Amino acid sequence: MIKLVNVSKSYKIDEETYFHALKGATVEIKEKEFVSIIGPSGSGKSTLMHLIGLLDKSTSGEILIQNKKVSSLSDDQISSLRNEFIGFVFQQFNLVPKLTVIENILLPTVYSRKKILYNPEEKAHNLIKTFGLSGKENSFPNKISGGQQQRVAILRALIMEPKLILADEPTGNLDSKSGSEIMNLLKQLNEKEKITIAVITHEKDIAAYGKRIIHVKDGKIV
């Protein structure tokens, strides 16, 4: 599904100094996998996530998505691929405060360039019902709990029917009970809906939900 071959990412600090965030990473995430990417702060795991999620470009090496070389795509093509192929879940939830629950869930469909072959509002209502948020449709983010906000973020990621959900520290702002609920929800999406899941974390107990664990240290896959 997604393959990185000898990928490096460097950032220029000044005229003569570079920070090498990722060094020659080769890694593959296969379809229907549940993968955990674990490493301490500054290890390069967030850089790896940004590259997998097409949020950044590598300095060297090759990134392939379903055997397509990302380097051969235009910025517009990369943007469309990211919007249609990947659903993102972040630690901070990243919900729009002035939008209701259902409006936040529907947001990706508003900006989609592809023709949507289903009724987005009907799908959103079905997701809300399935994942235990009935009655919260017209609530604003500050009126629901952190665990509920993260559920909304996951449903927003699901509305475009992505092949991959990329979750960056999805339990970082939650208590242990809510965190377990969110991880079990991701596990359910992987096992029942066959959606590929990649979770980025620094916590061993969260990484343990993955069927395969990728360790990152000092910018390298170890």
Q: What mean pLDDT do residues 138-149 have?
A: 95
- Looking at residue 14, what is its pLDDT? 81
The Cα 40–Cα 70 span in angstroms is: 28
- Looking at residue 117, what is its pLDDT? 81
Say yes or no to pLDDT of 140 above 90: yes
The Cα 143–Cα 149 span in angstroms is: 9
pLDDT, tens digit, 9 for 90 and up, residues 104-138: 999 988 877 777 888 999 999 999 999 899 999 99
- Looking at residue 156, what is its pLDDT? 94
Task: Please state, for a pLDDT cut of 90, what percent of the chain lies above it.
Answer: 74
CATH number of 2-221: 3.40.50.300
CB-CB neighbours of 7 under 10 Å? 23
